[in-house]
């Protein structure tokens, strides 16, 4: 092959000119750069749809979107007035009568400005959603990647209301010429009605799951879900990366509470939380620690102790770090100073304190790993790959399966960072915007 011999010739010339030492050093540097590029890519928090990272598993299924039409009269609409949507993959074999639902996440919008931006994205409008979704992690139909739920009916429910499926404002809200629909609760009801008519009403087992803002949605709707299903069915819920903490940030402010106050006022969510005390700020009722108090259905709390999203947006939000002292640390935990690590250990302690009252509930499960990551159930790598974190030699997938099927009691709490050598810690390329 002429091309190859020319290349070989050029290489030899180059090698001679540089001298073998320098050339070898250059080659080694190029190789290291390549490795770095690969590892950076591998560390992306969620596998990007256009470059699926499969970690030895087969390529994920792509599942078509279904728009929920005919619910306009019930007012089930995304922020911009488009219909809500989900992706459905039918179950097979002995999973044909089992259903796993996943509520998507994607933060919240707190004011007209941020909700207006959201309307132009897939988090506020089905007109902007991709028509197909990759089903990976807990949604995968590959047994090697998802050992306990691979053959279940699966539904990925899109998030387009901006308030964790909990707002229910009667009229379109106007801000100048811009209109907004705050109808997450109605979206939840419309999607459930449609799924019930597709066979969910005959489910023998059902599992409501969600990550991030969708994890919060799971706490909010777990008992609603139970109530929709046959009495004889087994129904449980899994909230992944959704235990947002009502804590002081690095500047001593309760940034997240102020944020939730705005979301709760904008979308008038108090109707959804009748038990929430009148002496409390509206946003306080939106924290899982409050929501979970009244849940009667078995819940699994899957949450890293150093959840990347929370470190970035709850503990060290941009607005509380004007000098950017946390910038490196919140993108890469290995870059944290000892002082910052101390603060992170305090954050872990706040999480453990907050979940303490749920630890003793016999039918609840816990998997609190000490990794720097977010959304482990929807990641090919983190759910059940050879690189997934383990506690007591079990991946999150195994722990959740053990708990769902009562194979053992699962209250897995990891030791402090950096004790767990199996931890997979993400490295972010740049901080993500929050508003």
Ligand X SMILES: *[C@@H]1O[C@H](CO)[C@@H](O)[C@H](O)[C@H]1NC(C)=O
- Token pair recorded at residue 153: 């009916």
Pairwise CA distance, residues 107 & 317, whole Å = 14
Query: Residue 237: enclosing H or E segment and its boundaries?
Result: strand 234-240
What is the nearest approach in angstroms of ligand X to the Cβ of residue 329?
A: 32
Total binding residues toward ligand X, as defined by CB under 6 A: 6
Question: Catalytic annotation on 97?
Answer: no
Pairwise CA distance, residues 107 & 49, whole Å = 20
Stretch that binds ligand X, among 110-118, 208-216, 308-316, 370-378 (CB under 6 A): 110-118
What is the nearest approach in angstroms of ligand X to the Cβ of residue 399?
A: 12
Q: Which residues are within 8 A (CB) of 37 and not within 5 positions of it... i.e. 6 or more apart?
A: none
CB of 111 or CB of 251, closer to ligand X: 111
Instruction: Kindly state whether residue 337 participates in binding ligand X, applying the rule CB under 6 A.
Output: no
What is the nearest approach in angstroms of ligand X to the Cβ of residue 60?
A: 22
Q: What is the DSSP string of 288-332?
A: HHHHGGG--S-EEEE--TT-HHHIIIIIS-GGG-TT-TTHHHHHB
Question: Catalytic annotation on 246?
Answer: no
CB of 111 or CB of 131, closer to ligand X: 111
- DSSP letter for 60, please: P
Pairwise CA distance, residues 192 & 253, whole Å = 38
What is the nearest approach in angstroms of ligand X to the Cβ of residue 398?
A: 7
The reply to whether omega before 6 is within 30° of 0 (cis) is no
Which 72-101 positions form the footprint of ligand X (CB under 6 A)? none
CB of 38 or CB of 178, closer to ligand X: 178
CB of 170 or CB of 177, closer to ligand X: 177
Residue 304, CA distances (Å) to 31, 40, 407 in order: 33, 20, 23
What is the nearest approach in angstroms of ligand X to the Cβ of residue 407?
A: 14
Instruction: Kindly state whether residue 112 participates in binding ligand X, applying the rule CB under 6 A.
Output: yes
Pairwise CA distance, residues 87 & 101, whole Å = 10
The 265-304 contact track toward ligand X, x by CB under 6 A, reads ----------------------------------------
Pairwise CA distance, residues 109 & 103, whole Å = 17
What is the nearest approach in angstroms of ligand X to the Cβ of residue 156?
A: 27
Which 227-256 positions form the footprint of ligand X (CB under 6 A)? none
Query: Which of 80, 104, 142, 307 is the catalytic position?
Result: 307
Instruction: Kindly state whether residue 111 participates in binding ligand X, applying the rule CB under 6 A.
Output: yes
- What is the number of other CB atoms lying within 10 angstroms of the CB of residue 31? 10
Instruction: Kindly state whether residue 175 participates in binding ligand X, applying the rule CB under 6 A.
Output: yes
Pairwise CA distance, residues 273 & 171, whole Å = 20
Phi then psi for residue 42, to 5 deg, are -65, -25
Query: Which of 98, 140, 166, 212 is the catalytic position?
Result: 212
For residues 303 and 358, the answer to whether their CB atoms sit within 8 Å is no
CB of 15 or CB of 112, closer to ligand X: 112
Position among 171, 393, 419, 421 found at the interface with ligand X (CB under 6 A)? 393
Instruction: Kindly state whether residue 409 participates in binding ligand X, applying the rule CB under 6 A.
Output: no
Question: Catalytic annotation on 141?
Answer: no
CB of 144 or CB of 175, closer to ligand X: 175
DSSP-based three-state secondary structure for 214: helix
Pairwise CA distance, residues 167 & 263, whole Å = 9
CB of 213 or CB of 266, closer to ligand X: 266
Stretch that binds ligand X, among 74-82, 106-114, 288-296, 381-389 (CB under 6 A): 106-114
Instruction: Kindly state whether residue 113 participates in binding ligand X, applying the rule CB under 6 A.
Output: yes
Pairwise CA distance, residues 422 & 434, whole Å = 30
Query: Which of 102, 221, 374, 384 is the catalytic position?
Result: 374
Among 276, 221, 211, which residue's Cα sits nearest to residue 246? 276
Stretch that binds ligand X, among 59-67, 81-89, 111-119, 214-222 (CB under 6 A): 111-119
Among 100, 139, 147, which residue's Cα sits nearest to residue 401? 147
| Radius of gyration, alpha carbons of the chain | 23
What residues line the site for ligand X (CB under 6 A)? 111-113, 175-176, 393
Residues with a catalytic annotation lie at: 212, 307, 374
């Amino acid at each position: 092959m002429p091309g190859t011999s020319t290349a070989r010739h050029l290489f030899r010339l180059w090698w001679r000119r540089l001298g073998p030492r320098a050339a070898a050093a250059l080659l080694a540097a190029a190789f290291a750069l390549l490795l770095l590029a690969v590892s950076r890519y591998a560390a992306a928090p969620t596998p990007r749809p256009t470059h699926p990272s499969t970690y030895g598993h087969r390529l994920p299924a792509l599942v078509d979107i279904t728009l929920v039409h005919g619910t306009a009269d019930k007012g089930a609409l995304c922020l911009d007035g488009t219909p809500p949507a989900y992706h459905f993959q039918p179950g097979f074999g002995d999973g044909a009568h089992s259903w796993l639902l996943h509520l998507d996440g994607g933060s919240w919008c707190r004011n007209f400005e941020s909700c207006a931006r959201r309307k132009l994205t897939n988090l506020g409008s089905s007109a902007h959603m991709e028509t197909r979704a990759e089903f990976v992690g807990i949604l995968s139909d590959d047994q090697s990647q998802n050992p306990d739920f691979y053959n279940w009916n699966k539904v990925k429910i899109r998030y387009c209301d901006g308030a964790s499926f909990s707002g229910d404002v009667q009229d379109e809200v106007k801000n100048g010429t811009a209109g907004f629909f705050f109808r997450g609760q109605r979206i939840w009801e419309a999607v459930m009605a449609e799924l019930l008519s597709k066979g969910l009403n005959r489910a023998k087992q059902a599992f409501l799951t969600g990550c991030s803002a969708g994890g919060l949605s799971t706490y909010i709707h777990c008992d609603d879900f139970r109530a929709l299903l046959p009495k004889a069915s087994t129904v449980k819920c899994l909230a992944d990366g959704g235990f947002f903490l009502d804590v002081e940030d690095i500047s001593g402010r309760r940034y997240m509470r102020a944020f939730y106050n705005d979301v709760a006022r904008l979308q008038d969510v108090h109707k959804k939380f009748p038990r929430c005390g009148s002496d409390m700020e509206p946003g306080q009722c939106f924290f899982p620690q409050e929501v979970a108090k009244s849940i009667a259905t078995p819940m699994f709390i899957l949450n890293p102790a150093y959840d990347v999203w929370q470190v970035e947006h709850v503990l060290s939000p941009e607005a509380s770090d004007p000098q950017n002292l946390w910038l490196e640390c919140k993108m890469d935990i290995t870059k944290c100073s000892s002082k910052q690590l101390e603060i992170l250990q305090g954050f872990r302690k706040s999480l453990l304190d907050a979940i303490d009252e749920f630890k003793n509930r016999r039918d609840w499960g816990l998997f609190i790993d000490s990794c720097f990551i977010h959304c482990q159930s929807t990641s090919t790598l983190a759910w059940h790959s050879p690189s997934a974190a383990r506690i007591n030699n079990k991946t999150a997938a195994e722990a959740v399966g053990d708990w769902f099927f009562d194979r053992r009691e699962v209250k897995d709490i990891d030791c402090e960072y950096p004790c767990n050598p199996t931890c997979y810690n993400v490295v972010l390329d740049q901080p993500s915007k929050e508003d």
